Amino acid sequence: MEVTPFCLSVVVSFHRISSALTSRHHYHVTHTLSLALFFFLLHIRTGPAAQINFMGYARAGQTAHGIHQRLRARAFIIGQRMENTNHDVKETMKAEPIEMEEQKYKSYYWDTAALIQRHRNDLRNHNDMQHQHQQQRTKQYSDVLLDPNKTVCFVSIDAGMGSDLINMRVVQRLNEETNGTTTERSLQGLCRIDNLSISATHTHSAPAGFLQYALFQITSLGFSDEVFQAYTEGIVQAIRKAFHNIEPVEINVAQGLLFNVSINRSPTSYLLNPEEERLEYAAQGDTDKNMVQLTFTASQSGEKRGLLNWFAVHGTSMNASNQLISGDNKGYASYLSERYFNGNETLTGDGRFVAAFASTNLGDVSPNTVGPRCTDTGLPCDIVTSTCGGDCMKCVAQGPGRTDHHSTEIIGRKQYEHSLQLLQDTNKEQVKVVGPVAFRHSFVEMSNVTIWLKDGNITHTCPAALGYSFAGGTTDGPGDFPFHQGTNTSYPFWNMMGGFLSIPTAEEIYCQFPKPILLNVGKCVVPYSWDPNTIPISIFRIGHVFILNVPSEFTTMAGRRLRKAVQNVLESQNVMNTSIVIAGLANSYSHYVTTEQEYASQRYEAASTLYGKHTLTAYIQEFERITTDLLQNSPSESAASPPDLYDQQISLVPPVLLDTIGLGYRFGSVAIDAKDQYRTNETVGVSFRSSNPRNNQRIGGTFLTVDILSGIDGEWHTIYVDSDWCTQYRWKGGDGYLGVSFAEIHWNIPKETTTGLYRICHNGTRNTIIGVIEMSLDHIPGWMVSSLLGSYAINIVLQIARMALYLSHSLRRATTEKLAHFHYKDFHGCSRAFLVR
Ligand SMILES: *[C@@H]1O[C@H](CO)[C@@H](O)[C@H](O)[C@H]1NC(C)=O
Ligand SMILES: *[C@@H]1O[C@H](CO)[C@@H](O)[C@H](O)[C@H]1NC(C)=O
Ligand SMILES: *[C@@H]1O[C@H](CO)[C@@H](O)[C@H](O)[C@H]1NC(C)=O
Ligand SMILES: *[C@@H]1O[C@H](CO)[C@@H](O)[C@H](O)[C@H]1NC(C)=O
Ligand SMILES: *[C@@H]1O[C@H](CO)[C@@H](O)[C@H](O)[C@H]1NC(C)=O
Ligand SMILES: *[C@@H]1O[C@H](CO)[C@@H](O)[C@H](O)[C@H]1NC(C)=O
Ligand SMILES: *[C@@H]1O[C@H](CO)[C@@H](O)[C@H](O)[C@H]1NC(C)=O
Ligand SMILES: *[C@@H]1O[C@H](CO)[C@@H](O)[C@H](O)[C@H]1NC(C)=O
Ligand SMILES: *[C@@H]1O[C@H](CO)[C@@H](O)[C@H](O)[C@H]1NC(C)=O
Ligand SMILES: *[C@@H]1O[C@H](CO)[C@@H](O)[C@H](O)[C@H]1NC(C)=O
Ligand SMILES: *[C@@H]1O[C@H](CO)[C@@H](O)[C@H](O)[C@H]1NC(C)=O
Ligand SMILES: CC(=O)N[C@H]1CO[C@H](CO)[C@@H](O)[C@@H]1O
């Protein structure tokens, strides 16, 4: 049903990013450069709201068609003050035993993420006060220098997974651009590859195309520089914002079990783990129910500043049919929490309080608690293979809600309420975090780790490979017929298909046994690597809290074993009463990690355990190593960093060519207006004549506002933006529309809405190559020009010309920059005023 927009131009606009970089002054680069201008001010990010594929379900048709919730980066910088504040670095180099630090230590944390730079009158006074407050604070703490060796930077992002390329760019950007004030300079070198962790919440409704390995780019039509730049920019801005909110805080850690929010989606695999091991976790069962939460309270004012928690559940409440950008259940939980602490009157995105619901060992954990059912019969599926009559596509897990949207609300709200309980619980469950901040980081060449087994034998991990069941998908997002989970035998036909890429050697087949190799991804290098062979791991210490950053999805039991192994190392060195959490999907992506026993079942998670059945053992061995290094204050050995393949990336996603509009119409004008009046709980729908949102992603801004007319000053005041749960921005455009597009805005009027006059507005940016001509026609009314230049006929001619331009490198060189330059113009429109009673 769904057609990938621009499928025709896909073929023609094939280009390499590298050529874009070498010809800096030519046109598609100029395109990205001018976008960067918009990014600069802002730090809330969303990937392109249109046409880009979502990461997660790997469905070619699941492309972004608008925004339900903006994606966010939430950054926390936690560190100790430089011992010696006279900036003499040499003085501070002396290593100190950890225990001595306990009482002296002070920790600083900056929150982030949440301010939108917008021109708004309504909250001006409020903002002025905030601004003054902020300036005071900056003044107060601007002289604080953090010790880079005792600082960790943790960023939770609403995205599918972390990316090593993004980490590299974020660190580069932080070092390049921090040349302003003294405070900016002390940000330089503070967050680096070894103490920065960017962990994704694993929402399956965020744009793809930002990973540098070919496998992840198949359904997203290659690499998408727009998405990559937006994510990078958002994270950099979040870290910078965190840095500017420096403040002494008290950190508390609390934990508690949360039931009825998750189920195991491979319960038969879990049962293969030894019984005595499973009995140890009888209170929690086959998924981790424990939420571990850090809360940050300003030391001076005692105000709550933020929270950061980990609870294991997949971001798959929104299903594979969803086409609106969304933070899924974690994003909704963050939204509710930030709204609770910042107050309803604070616009979403503003406000000091930051709540991050981060991901952990969620590998086999689904939020679809009703469980898998056959879509045709309604009966449970075959439990071993997750099929109905042999077809995996019919076996789909259902959430607790009526719709996937409703399920997201239920699962998100339960996490939020539990987090609030943990935070407000003033009994002894709250433990004050004391102790030093420290970290160790290591790149590990996971494709060939030598492993010393307990029985004294030596073995090794294998080059990355995906098994048949990988193509079977999961019950949260089934794969393709004829594949199904639990396949442990291979078929010549599929071996031949997979063999086009790389034929596994006998040794590789033996190494991966019993996984039948479908894709020998570790050896595929055309056009560039398909999966990482080198992965980053790190351990962060914040007092007695330890964060284990892994670039993968650990299953429940795999996570428990890793935490236990690290705990044993800590206890052997007399570090007791620790809280250990796994930060999942951090800093790169290498699929799943199961236990050796689960590996034998070859369900999806096992087929996606890239480096063979000893993958978990390798992780544990490497974490034991860096944990020991951390405790003994010795440096950690590291393999070479993963390659930077940016220059080789292929992108098949065409740029936005033109925005057109029918003759006589104006961009931003209303196509379908609001009714005269509504009641609460009704939905207002307004449609605007609009443009492709990829022209300007409005990072930190909004595509829509819901305004109320104030009875006091007679001015319109914004109350909701496109980040709010009650609003939806849908983009209607693409292939069949010849460049014409509409912005459909829906506002589901919340119950607590007061009686009054409201309106809905839309801001967009249109794209025209002939900006020069347009400017020379300045004396003609704008709508006339835009409708003239926006007419189909003219645009088809221009589109052909532009396509030719795009195709021909030499032509591109020959044309002047002016002609080739994309030209952007903002537009704005509002609905009629309507009454809400
Ligand atoms: C941090 O540690 C590194 C390596 O141990 C050392 O070279 C550097 O001087 C230290 N920096 C500070 C500010 O102590
Ligand atoms: C950093 O300095 C360079 C050159 O002095 C300047 O071009 C650039 O704009 C500065 N960046 C910031 C963020 O101030
Ligand atoms: C989980 O939900 C079921 C009903 O859906 C209820 O009977 C049960 O008590 C709940 N368990 C917990 C621990 O809340
Ligand atoms: C804030 O909004 C929530 C729902 O979004 C509502 O339940 C609550 O009553 C509101 N609080 C106030 C003070 O209006
Ligand atoms: C997703 O959920 C919606 C309702 O929320 C349902 O109509 C649709 O069939 C579901 N799609 C899939 C692929 O499960
Ligand atoms: C794996 O590492 C060992 C040494 O640790 C080395 O001898 C061997 O050649 C490596 N294998 C591959 C395929 O790189
Ligand atoms: C360890 O090596 C011995 C001798 O090669 C072999 O018999 C035994 O099966 C190995 N054990 C494991 C667990 O592989
Ligand atoms: C493959 O799985 C089947 C059950 O699904 C099992 O009987 C068989 O032993 C397995 N084969 C291997 C090689 O593990
Ligand atoms: C660890 O916690 C227990 C109680 O939970 C307490 O009795 C013990 O003293 C603590 N140990 C340390 C070293 O703090
Ligand atoms: C709000 O509307 C929905 C359907 O759109 C309905 O199911 C629900 O009961 C309504 N709630 C109230 C409080 O009227
Ligand atoms: C929308 O555009 C108008 C007119 O250019 C501008 O005044 C307003 O600030 C913009 N609003 C947002 C939220 O960007
Ligand atoms: C890998 C890396 O970035 N290492 C750096 C860690 O931090 C120390 C101190 O700032 C640097 O010297 C290392 O280069």
pLDDT at 800: 63
Nearest CA to ligand 11 atom 10: 763
Q: Which of 27-41, 226-240, 500-514, 655-669 is predicted with the least confidence, judged by mean pLDDT? A: 27-41
The first and second tokens of residue 559, run together, are 């996570």
Output the CA torsion 715→719→723→726 (10° steps): -130
Give the number of the atom of ligand 5 that is nearest the alpha carbon of residue 320.
13
Give the number of the atom of ligand 12 that is nearest the alpha carbon of residue 192.
3
| Residues framing ligand 6 (Cβ under 6 A) | 448, 450
Burial class for 815, CB neighbours closer than 10 Å (0-12, 13-18, 19+): middle
Nearest CA to ligand 5 atom 4: 403
| Residues framing ligand 11 (Cβ under 6 A) | 118-119, 701-702, 705, 763, 826, 828
The pLDDT mean for the chain works out to 80
Q: Which residue has the higher pLDDT, 819 or 802?
A: 802
Give the model confidence (pLDDT) of 726-755 as tens digits: 999 999 886 666 678 899 999 999 999 999
pLDDT at 178: 61
**pLDDT-derived band at 87, boundaries 50, 70, 90:** very low
Give the number of the atom of ligand 1 that is nearest the alpha carbon of residue 93.
14
- Ligand 2 contacts CB of residue 184 (under 6 A): no
752, 753, 754: which to mutate for ligand 4, most atoms within 8 A of CB?
752
**SS (HEC) of 256-311:** EECCCCCEECCHHHHCCCCHHHHHHCCCCCCCCCEEEEEEEEECCCCCEEEEEEEC
SS3 822: coil
Please tell me which residue in 9, 224, 366, 386 is annotated as part of the active site: 366
- Ligand 1 contacts CB of residue 92 (under 6 A): yes
Ligand nearest to the CA of 617: 7
Q: What letter would DSSP give residue 485? A: T
- pTM of the complete model: 0.85
- Ligand 9 contacts CB of residue 574 (under 6 A): no
Reply yes or no on whether the pLDDT at 13 is more than 50.
no
Q: With DSSP H G I counted as helix, E B as strand and the rest as coil, what are the percentages for the chain, rounded to 5?
A: 30, 25, 45
Reply yes or no on whether the pLDDT at 807 is more than 90.
no
Residue 491, amino acid = Y
Reply yes or no on whether the pLDDT at 71 is more than 90.
yes
Q: How far apart are CA 586 and CA 595, in angstroms?
A: 20
| Residues framing ligand 4 (Cβ under 6 A) | 344, 750, 752
Q: Helices 164-177 and 225-244 sit at what angle, rounded to 10 degrees? A: 50
Residues of the chain with pLDDT > 70, as a percent, come to: 76
pLDDT at 468: 87
Q: How far apart are CA 76 and CA 327, in angstroms?
A: 19
pLDDT at 101: 27
Q: Which residue has the higher pLDDT, 747 or 37?
A: 747
Give the model confidence (pLDDT) of 218-275 as tens digits: 777 788 888 999 999 899 989 988 888 878 889 999 999 999 999 999 999 999 999 9
φ, ψ (nearest 5 deg) of residue 264: -85, 130
Q: How far apart are CA 450 and CA 470, in angstroms?
A: 26
φ, ψ (nearest 5 deg) of residue 469: -65, -15
Sign of CA dihedral 211, 214, 218, 223: positive
Q: Which residue has the higher pLDDT, 514 or 9?
A: 514
Q: How far apart are CA 772 and CA 784, in angstroms?
A: 16
Reply yes or no on whether the pLDDT at 15 is more than 70.
no
| Residues framing ligand 3 (Cβ under 6 A) | 259-260
Residue 348 vs residues 96, 333, 705: alpha-carbon distances, Å:
44, 13, 11
Clarify whether 366 is annotated catalytic: yes
Reply yes or no on whether the pLDDT at 777 is more than 60.
no
Q: How far is the CA of 340 from the centre of ligand 4 (A)?
A: 8
For range 626-645, the mean pLDDT: 95
DSSP-derived secondary structure for 449-465: -EEE-TTS-EEE-----
Highest mean pLDDT among 111-125, 224-238, 281-295: 281-295
User: Looking at the DSSP assignment, which residues form a beta bridge with residue 154?
Assistant: 76, 197
Q: How far apart are CA 8 and CA 14, in angstroms?
A: 11
The first and second tokens of residue 774, run together, are 């347009």
Reply yes or no on whether the pLDDT at 495 is more than 70.
no
pLDDT at 484: 81
Q: How far is the CA of 752 from the centre of ligand 4 (A)?
A: 7
Nearest CA to ligand 8 atom 11: 488
Q: Rounded to the nearest 5 degrees, what angle is found at the Cα of 223, between the Cα atoms of 217 and 228?
A: 120
- Ligand 5 contacts CB of residue 320 (under 6 A): yes
Give the number of the atom of ligand 2 that is nearest the alpha carbon of residue 177.
13
Q: Which of 132-136, 347-351, 682-686 is predicted with the least confidence, judged by mean pLDDT? A: 132-136
Give the number of the atom of ligand 6 that is nearest the alpha carbon of residue 450.
5
For range 332-337, the mean pLDDT: 97
**pLDDT-derived band at 117, boundaries 50, 70, 90:** very low
H helices then E strands: how many in the chain? Answer: 23, 39
For range 345-370, the mean pLDDT: 93
Ligand nearest to the CA of 752: 4
Q: How far apart are CA 834 and CA 123, in angstroms?
A: 22
Q: Which of 11-15, 417-421, 640-644 is predicted with the least confidence, judged by mean pLDDT? A: 11-15
Q: Which of 70-79, 141-150, 303-312, 422-431 is predicted with the least confidence, judged by mean pLDDT? A: 141-150
Q: Which of 171-180, 461-470, 499-508 is predicted with the least confidence, judged by mean pLDDT? A: 171-180
The first and second tokens of residue 797, run together, are 């001619």
The first and second tokens of residue 696, run together, are 């300007």
| Secondary element (H or E) of residue 706 | strand 704-709
The first and second tokens of residue 434, run together, are 């004391």
Nearest CA to ligand 11 atom 5: 828
pLDDT at 305: 92
